[in-house]
Amino acid sequence: MIKGWTGKRLLIDLSLQKAWSEDIPAGELRRWFGGRGLNASYFSQHFRAPVSPASPENPIAFAVGPLTGTLAPCSGATSIASFSPLSGSPVYSFTQMPGHFGASLKAAGFDQCVIQGKADRPVYLWIDNGEVKFEKADHLWGQETVETTVAVQEEKGDRGIEVLCIGPAGEKQIPFANVIHRLSWTGDRLGLGYLFGVKQLKAIAIRGKKPITLQDPKQFLNLCLALKDQIHKGQKMRKLNEDGALSLLGREDRRGARGAHPWLPTRSEKQWAVSLWANLSGWESCFSCPVHCGRNIQHEQKCLGGIHLEKAWYLGPQIGVHNGEWTLKLHRFCQAQGLDPFLTASLLGRILEGIETGTLAEEDRGHLEDIEDQGEKAFALLRRMIDRGKKEFHLSVPPASENEDLDILADVVSFCMIVVNRLNLMTVSNIIDLIHGATGDALTIQDLHETVSNIRQMESRLQNKKLHWNDQSTLLQLGKGQISQILKKEERRNVSITDRTAS
């Protein structure tokens, strides 16, 4: 097997309560690198048409890249794909989840895990260094995410186990329910909590201790250390190390990048930021990542998992909430119930607008229009939405990144999109060098062009979309991303990190 990968795919059938592994051809790994491409390839091979999200046949696929689980900085992301319930009709969808889950999956011996079927009673999966067990979860059904995580870890006698679980929102099959990992990391904009709830899958617990074989361990180590040193010395890291990605809120607000919806105020208030910062208590980081973009929150005598830039904004000024205390309450409620903070905020914004403009049906308003404080109103509305349980909701999914091709590239090798795309702490050249050090494959820019282009084509076919770009021009331009131009800028701005390491 080529270095950097395990070469194994774990297949799990919840209906039959059986699990087995199969080899992933080396050519498939070399072509897709792992992550998002590996998931798209699997779905393309096994599905000619979309499957209903509620169908037992609808799989949930997790995949990682060749750098996952290594010392490569910022490589802790996991790519997830399924047919999502969010669009009203089955659509192939994908997301990226930060954290430590992918590293544990790799250490357990797998590059990809595909879960199908539906359990006849609540279960959780226990993946222990390659061995899979189906554990009863009746006693966990109804528990919030924090209690579930702690209970599973105590059952297995290991607080170091990585647990991915749903809360009551997923059990009620609310379409915008989410999965929670390490009390803070989430796989957003996919409806994963709904999919787990339909399958009666309460959690996945995983522990791995298998080593990862690299092509040139010494060279790879030197490269990783040099990259981490480069990241630490950057000017952006000074504020990031102090406040996490929350430190970018002021800058993002001033330039209008995170402007609120048209019906709500477009600027945050100092009161909101001050009350938010007063509750910071610690840092949260993905596996092998020097960028601590999450800040833990101490609120009402409880420590919340890391709150991040987008989550704070969407549950704050984005819906007209300018009191940090209410933002924290909303975040904590989403975390405990297992709700997607982005889609929750989107739906809250739509309903709050209806209340303000009087366009919301009177029977749906209740007493909410009598509540003056926007934060209190949003929280009361959110609790009401959860109490209603499974019901059809129409959501507007937040727009994709402007630099979609870089997002695809980051997701292919399971790198953090924020680090690669928004913060620019890792370059395309860095990623090429790291893959070469781990696998021995000498990649070219053309290889990246072809991979990203092919992934886009596969995903478009799975989504039944027409291609709005020319295949040949995409290989050269990569749409808006234009990785070739980015590389030229990098070459003008920096000396190659490989050259620095060699010197």
Q: Among 258-262, 336-340, 497-501, which stretch is predicted with the lowest mean pLDDT?
A: 497-501
User: Rounded mean pLDDT of 231-239?
Assistant: 71
Per-residue confidence band for 450, with pLDDT thresholds at 50, 70 and 90: confident
What pLDDT score does 205 carry?
98
Q: Among 51-60, 77-86, 419-428, which stretch is predicted with the lowest mean pLDDT?
A: 419-428
Q: Which residues of 40-72 are buried (b: 16+ CB within 10 A; e: fewer)?
A: bbbbbeebeebbebbebebbbbbbbbbbbbbbb
What pLDDT score does 147 carry?
95
Q: Say whether pLDDT at 468 is over 50.
A: no
What pLDDT score does 481 carry?
40
Q: Say whether pLDDT at 487 is over 50.
A: no
User: Rounded mean pLDDT of 70-89?
Assistant: 88
What pLDDT score does 157 carry?
97
User: Rounded mean pLDDT of 459-486?
Assistant: 45
Q: What is the pLDDT of residues 117-132, one digit of tens each?
A: 999 999 999 999 999 9
Which token pair is 340? 């997607």
User: Rounded mean pLDDT of 476-491?
Assistant: 42
Mean of pLDDT over the chain: 80
What pLDDT score does 407 carry?
72
User: Rounded mean pLDDT of 179-193?
Assistant: 89
In order of 51, 65, 336, the CA distances from 14 in angstroms are 17, 25, 25
In order of 92, 353, 354, 368, the CA distances from 358 in angstroms are 36, 8, 6, 12
Q: Say whether pLDDT at 235 is over 60.
A: yes
Widest Cα–Cα separation across the chain: 71
Q: Say whether pLDDT at 474 is over 80.
A: no
Phi then psi dihedrals of residue 128, to 5 deg: -115, 95
| 3 state SS of 427 | coil
Per-residue confidence band for 246, with pLDDT thresholds at 50, 70 and 90: low
What pLDDT score does 86 carry?
83
Q: Amino acid letter at 89?
A: S
| 3 state SS of 135 | strand
Domains plus CATH for the chain?
8-207 (3.60.9.10), 234-388 (1.10.569.10), 404-502 (no CATH)
Per-residue confidence band for 167, with pLDDT thresholds at 50, 70 and 90: very high
HSE-CB for 476 with a 13 A CA cutoff = 3
DSSP-derived pairing of the beta strands 201-207 and 162-165: antiparallel
User: Rounded mean pLDDT of 229-246?
Assistant: 68
What pLDDT score does 79 carry?
94
pTM of the model: 0.84
In order of 99, 226, 233, 442, the CA distances from 230 in angstroms are 22, 6, 5, 23
User: Rounded mean pLDDT of 353-364?
Assistant: 77
What pLDDT score does 275 carry?
58
What pLDDT score does 472 carry?
30
Q: Say whether pLDDT at 247 is over 50.
A: yes
Sign of CA dihedral 40, 45, 49, 52: negative
What pLDDT score does 477 carry?
34
User: Rounded mean pLDDT of 434-460?
Assistant: 83
Which token pair is 126? 């226990």
What pLDDT score does 316 carry?
86
User: Rounded mean pLDDT of 499-503?
Assistant: 38
What pLDDT score does 295 carry?
67
Q: Say whether pLDDT at 497 is over 60.
A: no
**Between 343 and 119, residue with greater pLDDT:** 119
Q: Which residues of 122-140 are buried (b: 16+ CB within 10 A; e: fewer)?
A: bbbbbbbebebebbebeeb
Q: Among 381-385, 409-413, 486-490, which stretch is predicted with the lowest mean pLDDT?
A: 486-490
Q: Among 83-87, 127-131, 158-162, 447-451, which stretch is predicted with the lowest mean pLDDT?
A: 447-451
Q: What is the pLDDT of residues 306-341, one digit of tens each?
A: 677 678 888 888 888 888 888 888 988 999 999 999
Per-residue confidence band for 476, with pLDDT thresholds at 50, 70 and 90: very low
CA 322 to chain centre: 26
Q: How far, in Å, CA of 381 to CA of 372, rounded?
A: 13
What pLDDT score does 467 carry?
32
What pLDDT score does 314 carry?
86
User: Rounded mean pLDDT of 218-241?
Assistant: 82
Helix residue ranges, H only, 65-142: 101-107
CA 368 to chain centre: 33
Q: Say whether pLDDT at 446 is over 80.
A: no
Per-residue confidence band for 210, with pLDDT thresholds at 50, 70 and 90: very high
What pLDDT score does 423 carry?
63
What pLDDT score does 457 carry?
86
User: Rounded mean pLDDT of 104-108?
Assistant: 97
What pLDDT score does 278 carry?
62
In order of 30, 65, 78, 115, 155, the CA distances from 413 in angstroms are 11, 4, 9, 21, 33
